[in-house]
Every structure is written in C-alpha cells, then in structure tokens.
C-alpha cells in the first residue's frame, strides 16, 4: 500500500507542561513531506497509556502511517509500549533479540542492567522491534488495520537514524525534488510582493516563503523526479526577483556563502566588532575550513581597544562618538591593515537596552567594509531587543561584505530606516 | 468556573509540512502551567475549516479552556474564524469596533485596506473580538458549552500580549510559585543521581530536570503562594547537591552569572579565542552592561595573530602545536596583559570536522584562565559536531572563569574524557 497520509504523535508530560519544546513533529513532518507523504495531523499527548492508545486507534483509522515518538524509556511513566499493545488488543511479550541487545549494552559499559529496564525488550505479540544502535530502547513497528504504526525513542540521536531506516524501507524511491532559495536583507512582505504570481495556490508548484531570524527562504517542491526542470526554473525566477539578496540554496548559510566566494577569489577577511562582541567572528568560524579565509579579528568593546589595537584616532571617538561613520570606518581599515587581510568589516552600535540617546537611539548600528579601494560605511536602525539587534547587525555585516566582494552596491532593507 | 484543564491547537499547513517549527504550543503550555491550568493535549492542524471545527468541538467537551493560535490572517487559507463559527453553529457578523480598528490601522500607515482584509473584522454572533495593538487581526473569545474558547493570531508579537491579557482576565491570582535552578558542567544522569530522592513522583513537589544545549535545569513548582518555603528548601537542596556547577536561578544565564560576580568584585575579564572564533565574546556581550567588566578580546584564529597580538612565542607553537597547554596558557596571559584585565580566558582546540590527528582528535580543546596568581589550563575532549564542540567549549570557558573568580578548583564533567 502506498503511504500517502500520516499522523504523528509526540509523547511526554514535559512537552505538555511547556518544559521541553517538541521538535520531533517538525523533523518527521519535513522528512515525510520530502518523500511525498502528507502529515494530516500532529498531536502531543501526556504519559497516559489509555489516552495514547485511543489516539493511535483514531490515527490508524484516518492515516496510512502513524509515527509516535517518546515513551519508550525504562521508567514507569514511559508507556508507549503498553499503549500500542492496548490499541492492538495484544499482550506484551519479551523479544529475544531486543533482550540480548540490552544485556550487551550494559555489559559493554561494565554496568548491571536495572531490573526495570527489561521492560524495554517487550513488544506486542505481532509487532517487531527496531534496532537502536545509539541507546537501550528499541523502536517498534506494527500493523493496525491498514495502517503502519511506528514507535521511535525520544532522544534525537536515537530517533533520527531509526526514522531514516523506516522511511527507506517503507517509503522507498527518491525523495520529492525540492529547492530552497535563501536570502537576507529584504523583508517578507517585500519579498512576497516580488514573487506574488509564483506564490498563488492554484499554480502547479506554489512557492512558499518563511522567515527565521531575519533569514528568508523560498521553498519550491515538485512531486516527481521529472519536475526538476520546472522547479529549477521557478527557483531561478525567485533568485532573479530577490537579487542581490539571495546568497544560496538549500543548506547554504550566509557565512558559508561569503566563505565560498572568498575562497574562490583567493581573498581573506578580518573583523573588528564592538556591539556584536564577537558574533561575526563566531558566525564566520562556524563554517568548516574558515581558517582558509579568516585569520581572526578583534572584539574592541571599550574605546581603548579600538585605539590601541586598531589605531582608531582618539580624537575621532572624542569628536564623533564610538558609534559613527568615522570610527567604524577607521576600525575596518585598522583591522584590515593589522591582519593583512583583503577585507575588513567592522560594527559599532547601540544594542540596548541602555546607551541610547536622542541622536543615536537603541538599534542604531554603523557597519563598514574596507578593501584596497577604500571603505564604505552605512548606518542602520534595527528594531527589536538586544539579541535581535546584534543578530541582524552581524548578518548585515556578512551580507555587506559579500556585496563588496561581488561589486554590488546594494542596500539592505533596514537601511531604509537610517538615521545617520 | 475554575479553569483547570486546557487543550491547545496550532493551525497552519506550514506547521504540518515541517516548514515552520511550532513554538506556540510550548509558550502557551508554560504560561498555563504557571497559572495552575494543566494542558491535557496539544494538536497541530492544517488550514481546513471543518477539521478545525471538529477539533474545537472535541476539545471543548474535555477541557475548560481551548486556546487556538493561527488562521486569523487576511488570506483565504486563514479559516479559524469560519471554523469557530461552524463549531458554535453561528453565523459570522462584522464587528464594528474591529472594523474601525482595521480602518485606522491602514489609514495610519497611509495604505488602502485590501478588500479581502475586511474578513478580519468578522466574528461569530455571540463571540467577542480581542483587541490587537500589534497587528490587523483581532483575536476571538467565545463560549462553547462550558468551555472558554480563545483564538489568537499566529505572529508571536501579536499572540503574546493577547495571551497575557486573556490569562490575567480568566486565570487571575498570582501564578504558581516556581524556582528553576540552573547549572553547567555536569551531565543529566550524574545530576539526576545526586538528587534522586527529590525527583520521585510520589513526593509533594517532584523536581524535574531538563537539559538544553548542555545547560541543566531543575524545575520545582508549588501549587500556591504558601508553598514558597517548601520549594525554596528544595531548591537549596538541589543547589547544594549540584555545587559548584550551579550558576543561578530562573532567567539567569551563565555569562550573566559571571558578569554579576565580576561586577560585584570590581574585576574585568578579556578573551583570546581560536576555535570558538568569538563565541565567548559574543556570549559575554549578550549580557546588558557587559562593558562594565569586558573591555573586549581577540579572535586569534591563525597563528600569526596569536604571535603578533598576544605575544605567544612562535617556538611554543612550533614545539607543542597551537592546541596545547603552553600555547593556550600564553594566549590567556598575553590577552590579560594586553587588555589590562584582571582575568584572561583562552580557548584553542580542534572543532572539526577536519584538523584532527591521532594525538589530538576532533573535540580536543584546551582552555586556560589567567589571573595575577598565574594560569590554569585544562584539556577537554568534547563529543558532538563542530557546533556542539564550540558551544560546549565556550560555555566551559565561562564556567571555568567563574570557578577561578570564586576560588573553586572544580573540574567540569567533560574533563573526565581528557586526553592531554
């Protein structure tokens, strides 16, 4: 039977109490959607066997696949095994192989298995256990009527490989082709306006946009391998409409895009950060291999560091303040010179909550990029709290460095709010 | 009627496709739990009016409160209004005040309201609209049988204040007292063993532990204001059992704790980072007012930066390699001297995925803390990918600086894995 519709269940009192964020719902939805199976509902349930059992029965009557995560641990509040047995109206029996796996697991760690943990080797009579190379709890796979039921352990490290195994076995064939176009520096409504006809629901492959931490994504999904040309053409249209803000596709991050372009050009970049305090450096060095194009940089939080380490003139700070065109330009040039790098990028701003003034309210951030042709400084006014201001400032610096490297004189969205 | 049991519903095809992570479930669960209302189920549903309507009916029959988020936008796939009307078996009518709010909203922004947006002023006959100062879509509040039904807009900025308003009106009185003890440097199973009797479910206020990005939390919740002494005593027991790894309570972060202690002692700290590339600086400067105790630091990613900026001897790097006790010690001392700070903390390691060797595999990280009494360097072996290694290394550096400041010679959990 082809699996077309799925229901997912996440189990755990800690999820319903708001202590833990349920991320499995999204992980599994994303994996199923990519393989052409639609999730019709996701439910979060507490550690109550009867409640879970009736949710399994109800899900099995409306879906081809039910994926349950959590409740497979060794403690008494882990009741997903019992719930599945109740829904299937079957007894629990000990699984020989699962028991042997448990024994080996503890023996290999020189520990005695607590008596209660034997529960983890139990399964409903007609179910089978799914091997768990990364933990003690095996998964479970069973049939209930026409539906396939899968129970996976809660810890992500154990859940993910088991999910992949089930999908490969039960939803074989290549995943639905998909392209995600990624951009930064343009707002969602502006971005949507630029591609409005492509987003209409009555088109064959409607483009869907999402924003996360100011990063914009456009997702285009086909149904079959031969849709690849069609979605490629749509992706190209989005890239054109969102130029120059697009920095890559799929898993590419903004710093990764800058790094790739720097490496290709054989050039290097250094950083001089005030209000972001090292965030740009941290973003750049998140990219594996960044040592090839990033020698390091400076966190010049206090003015003395700007003066001593970067050679910023004390008189500039005195005259214009640390958050100013002149100082941020001198920071970028000073860092570039000191590091012997091709590009220097610098940030100085008021991240808040304190330190704002009438002329330079919280959210005012100067960013400069220097290269051998000179220095380009721009003023932004970011809205949001300290964390949002710093994050946007750091990403804007990376994007402006990309623009400079590519010879684009483009402006980022937030420059519209400039008070310089 | 006292509100004791709630069901929450999150609406949106993008949630079921795995494109957007549903965080409202947790936000609302956390707020309700704090006010003594238990969430018995959370469901995520697509943009289908009949499906939502039947979920509302089913929820209203088992809960006192049903909170629905999303589906109040102006587009045709926003159907929560229609679903509520269907569940209530009532017609939709235009709400005069809501309509006036919409007109003002667009007029105030110099824009013409798109015709379709008038839908946002509709409500089921017996429902009332909830004002939305942060957007166009009003919320809805209604009765279905005994249950209170609330529909809130999806954007978090609009949802949160409206939720707070509803809770204050419908669940008045002070929230349940709760204390969260926060720690870093000890694993969850070790930590749980140390407080096992406090975690038993049959105790009056069982302590619950969670881990997020290596940060450990113990949550203790009372039912009424007069439970405060009891939970205070439990929190103190957890703090004693987890000493010296505890850095604070409730909303306190690890960098915030270090900052507070530095400020109290009138001392300052600087950073010299290699593999973390600025992450420690970024963490420290996330704390408002960090300029009082953090002058700045260095990202010395390439060896030349370690030599030129921090005065690390080239012969040390040649002899011991950049990831070594001698080099990381010289980095901490050099940074401390150059910045004129009381403490210098430094990190040099192999974050991966490349760069590992037999002697120094990926995850090997040296961390040093220097002060006027000398320098203390330790070697860690972190497991996990590049991002996890860097995050743990940065947090370990902050925690080790705290230990040094307090005169604790404590070891962090991961030092057990040392290969120095």
3-class state of residue A31 by DSSP: helix
What is the spatial distance between Cα A175 and Cα A172, in angstroms, rounded to a whole number?
8
Q: Do A285 and B300 touch (CB under 8 A)?
A: no
Report the C-alpha dihedral over residues B69, B74, B76, B79, rounded to 10 degrees: 30
User: Of A11-20, A324-333, A405-414, B3-12, where does mean pLDDT reach its minimum?
Assistant: A405-414
Closest-CA distance, A300 to chain B, in angstroms, reads 5
What ranges make up the beta strands (E) of A58-144? Answer: 65-69, 92-94, 122-124, 128-130, 139-144
SS3 at position B252? coil
Top-confidence residue, A284 or A224: A284
Q: Give dist(CA B98, CA B109) in Å, integer.
A: 17
Give, in order, the Cα–Cα distances in Å from B382 to each of A284, B55, B385, B413. Answer: 21, 46, 9, 10
Contact B324, B332 (CB under 8 A): no
CA–CA distance, B349 with B414 (Å, rounded to integer): 14
Residues in a beta bridge with B375:
B370
- φ, ψ for residue B375 (rounded to 5)? -130, 140
pLDDT at residue A420, rounded to an integer: 34
> CB-based contacts of A255: which residues, under 8 Å, 6+ apart?
A283, A284, A286, A287, A290, A398
A15 vs B contacts (CB less than 8 Å) = 25-26, 29, 42
Cβ contact, residue pair B305, A30, below 8 Å? no
At residue B265, the 3 state secondary structure works out as helix
What is the three-class DSSP state of B383?
coil
The complex scores an ipTM of 0.88
Identify whether the C-beta of residue B170 lies closer than 8 Å to the C-beta of residue B65. Answer: yes
Interatomic CA distance for residues A306 and A313, integer angstroms = 8
Which residue of chain B comes nearest to A297, CA vs CA? B299
Radius of gyration of chain B (CA): 27
From B84's Cα to the closest Cα of chain A, the distance in A is: 18
Give the model confidence (pLDDT) of B49-84 as tens digits: 999 999 999 999 999 999 999 999 887 788 999 999
Residues A52, A11 contacting (CB under 8 angstroms) = yes
Phi, psi of A368 (to 5 degrees): -125, 150
Q: What are the respective helix, strand and coil percentages of chain B, to the nearest 5?
A: 45, 25, 35
Is the pLDDT assigned to residue A415 strictly greater than 70?
Answer: no
Give the whole-angstrom CA distance, residue A276 versus residue A345.
12
Question: Quick one: A164 exposed, middle or buried, by C-beta within 10 A (0-12, 13-18, 19+)?
Answer: exposed
Place of tokens 């991961």: B414
Q: How many CB contacts within 8 angstroms connect chain A with chain B?
A: 236
Task: Quickly list DSSP for A285-350.
Answer: HTSTTGGGT--EEEEE-SHHHHHHHH---HHHHHHH-SSSHHHHHHHHHHHHHHHT-SEEEEEEE-
Point out which residues pair with A273 in neighbouring strands: A299, A347
Q: What is the per-residue pLDDT across A300-340, written as a single tens digit (0 to 9) for each?
A: 999 999 999 999 999 999 999 999 999 999 999 999 999 99
How far apart are the C-alpha atoms of B415 and B382, rounded to whole Å?
9
Distance, CA of B161 to CA of B166 (rounded, Å): 9
Pick from A14, A39, A278: CB nearest B299: A278
What is the structure's pLDDT at A417?
43
Q: What angle do CA B144, B146, B149 make, to 5 degrees?
A: 45
Residue of B nearest to A220 (CA): B19
- Strand, coil or helix: B370: strand
Tokens linked to A78: 């882990």
Strand partners, A183: A216, A246
| Structure-token match 């079921």, residue found | B16
The 10 Å Cβ neighbour count of residue B353 is: 12
Q: Longest C-alpha distance within chain B, in Å?
A: 82
Give me the helices (H) in B195-278, please. Answer: 196-199, 228-241, 254-265
Q: Give the closest-approach CA distance of A291 to chain B in angstroms.
A: 7
Q: What is the pLDDT of residues A33-89, one digit of tens each?
A: 999 899 999 999 999 999 999 999 999 999 999 999 999 988 778 899 999 999 999
Mean pLDDT computed over A142-162: 95
Q: What local confidence, expressed as pLDDT, does residue B411 receive?
A: 79
- Are A44 and B45 a contacting pair at CB < 8 A? no
pLDDT value of position B413: 67
A66, A123, B168 from A137: Cα distances, Å: 19, 11, 43
**CB nearest to B295's CB, from A22, A278, A305:** A305
- Identify which of B370, B130, B396, B109 has the alpha carbon closest to the alpha carbon of residue B245: B396
Chain B: give the shortest CA distance to residue A336, in Å. Answer: 12
Q: Are strands A147-152 and A139-144 parallel, antiparallel or unpaired?
A: antiparallel
Is A387–B278 a contact, with Cβ atoms under 8 angstroms apart? no
The Cα–Cα gap between A298 and B310 comes to 12
pLDDT at B420: 34
Of the two residues A149 and B197, the one the predictor is more confident about is A149
- What SS3 state is found at A371? strand
The CA-CA-CA angle for residues A154, A160, A162, to 5°, reads: 90
Residue A414 confidence (pLDDT): 64
pLDDT of A1? 66
Tens-level pLDDT at each residue, chain B (420 residues): 689 999 999 999 989 999 889 999 999 999 999 998 999 999 999 999 999 999 999 999 999 999 999 999 887 788 999 999 999 999 999 999 999 999 998 888 787 887 778 889 999 999 999 999 888 889 999 999 999 999 999 989 899 999 999 999 999 877 889 999 999 998 777 888 899 899 887 889 989 888 888 899 999 989 887 789 999 999 999 999 999 999 999 999 999 999 999 999 999 999 999 999 999 999 999 999 999 999 999 999 999 999 999 999 999 999 999 999 999 999 999 999 999 999 999 999 999 999 999 999 999 999 999 999 999 999 999 988 999 999 999 999 999 999 999 998 777 766 644 333
Q: Are A9 and A45 in contact (CB under 8 A)?
A: yes
Q: What residues of chain B lie within 8 A of the CB of A181, using their CB?
A: none
Q: Rounded to whole angstroms, how far apart are CA atoms B80 and B72?
A: 6
Return d(Cα A340, Cα B259) in angstroms, integer: 34
Is the CB of A301 less than 8 angstroms away from the CB of B309?
no
User: Over the Cα atoms of chain A, what is R_g?
Assistant: 27
Beta bridge partners of A211: A216
And the tokens for A385?
């709290």
CB atoms B305 and A285 under 8 Å: no
For residue A205, give how far its alpha carbon lies from the nearest alpha carbon of chain B (Å): 14
Residue A384 CA: distances (Å) to CA of A350, A393, B133, B322, B376: 12, 11, 17, 39, 40
Burial class (CB in 10 A: 0-12, 13-18, 19+), A226: exposed
Which residue in the set A29, A278, A304 is minimally distant from B17, CB to CB? Answer: A29
Domains detected in chain B: 5-170 (3.40.980.10), 178-249 (3.30.70.2860), 254-417 (3.90.950.20)
Q: Does B278 contact A275 at a Cβ distance shorter than 8 Å?
A: no
Residues A256, A259, A261, A264, Cα dihedral to 10°: -130
Q: Quick check: B159 and B146 in contact, CB under 8 A?
A: no
B104's CB contacts (< 8 A; 6+ apart) are: none
For Cα atoms A264, A269, A275, give the angle at the middle one, nearest 5 degrees.
140
Phi, psi of B252 (to 5 degrees): -70, 135
Q: How far is CA A328 from CA A236, A272, B289, in A?
A: 36, 9, 21
Given a contact cutoff of 8 angstroms between Cβ atoms, the answer to whether B316 and B326 are in contact is: yes
What pTM does this model have?
0.88
Q: CA B147 to CA B346: how far, in whole Å?
A: 58
- In chain B, DSSP finds a helix count (H) and a strand count (E) of 15, 17
- Looking only at Cα atoms, what is the longest distance across chain A? 82
């Amino acid at each position: 039977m082809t699996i077309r519709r799925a229901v997912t269940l996440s189990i755990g009192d800690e999820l319903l109490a708001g202590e833990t964020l349920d991320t499995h719902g999204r992980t599994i939805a994303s994996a199923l959607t990519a393989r052409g199976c639609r999730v019709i509902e996701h439910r979060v349930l507490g550690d109550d066997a009867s409640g879970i059992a009736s949710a399994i029965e109800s899900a099995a009557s409306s879906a081809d696949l039910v994926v349950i995560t959590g409740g497979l641990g060794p403690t008494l509040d882990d009741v997903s095994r019992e719930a599945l047995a109740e829904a299937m109206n079957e007894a629990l029996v000990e699984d020989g192989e699962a028991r042997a796996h448990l024994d080996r697991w503890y023996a290999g760690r020189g520990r005695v298995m607590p008596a209660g943990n034997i529960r983890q080797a139990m399964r409903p009579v007609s179910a089978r256990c799914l091997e768990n190379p990364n933990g003690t709890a095996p998964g479970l796979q069973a049939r209930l009527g026409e539906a396939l039921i899968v129970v996976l352990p809660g810890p992500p490290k154990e859940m993910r490989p088991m999910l992949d195994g089930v999908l490969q076995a039960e939803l074989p064939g290549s995943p639905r082709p998909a392209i995600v176009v990624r951009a930064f520096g343009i707002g969602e409504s502006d971005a949507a306006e630029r591609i409005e006809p492509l987003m209409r629901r009555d088109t064959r492959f409607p483009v869907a946009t999402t924003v996360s931490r100011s990063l914009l994504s456009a997702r285009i999904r086909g149904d079959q391998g031969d849709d690849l040309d069609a979605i490629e053409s749509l992706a190209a249209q989005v890239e054109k409409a969102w130029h120059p803000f697009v920095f890559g596709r799929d898993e590419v991050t903004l710093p990764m895009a800058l790094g790739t372009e720097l490496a290709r050009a054989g050039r290097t970049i250094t950083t001089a950060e005030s209000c972001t305090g090292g965030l740009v450096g941290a973003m750049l060095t998140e990219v594996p291999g960044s040592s090839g194009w990033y020698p390091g940089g400076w966190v010049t939080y206090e003015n003395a560091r700007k003066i001593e380490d970067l050679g910023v003139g004390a008189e500039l700070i005195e005259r214009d303040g640390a958050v100013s065109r002149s100082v941020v330009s001198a920071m970028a040039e000073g860092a570039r010179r000191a590091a012997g790098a091709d590009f220097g990028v610098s940030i100085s701003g008021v991240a808040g909550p304190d330190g704002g003034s009438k002329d330079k309210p919280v959210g005012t951030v100067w960013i400069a990029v220097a290269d051998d042709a000179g220095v380009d400084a721009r003023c932004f006014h970011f809205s949001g709290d300290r964390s949002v201001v710093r994050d946007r400032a750091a990403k804007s610096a990376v994007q402006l460095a990309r623009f400079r490297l590519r010879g684009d004189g483009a402006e980022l969205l937030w420059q519209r709010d400039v008070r310089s």
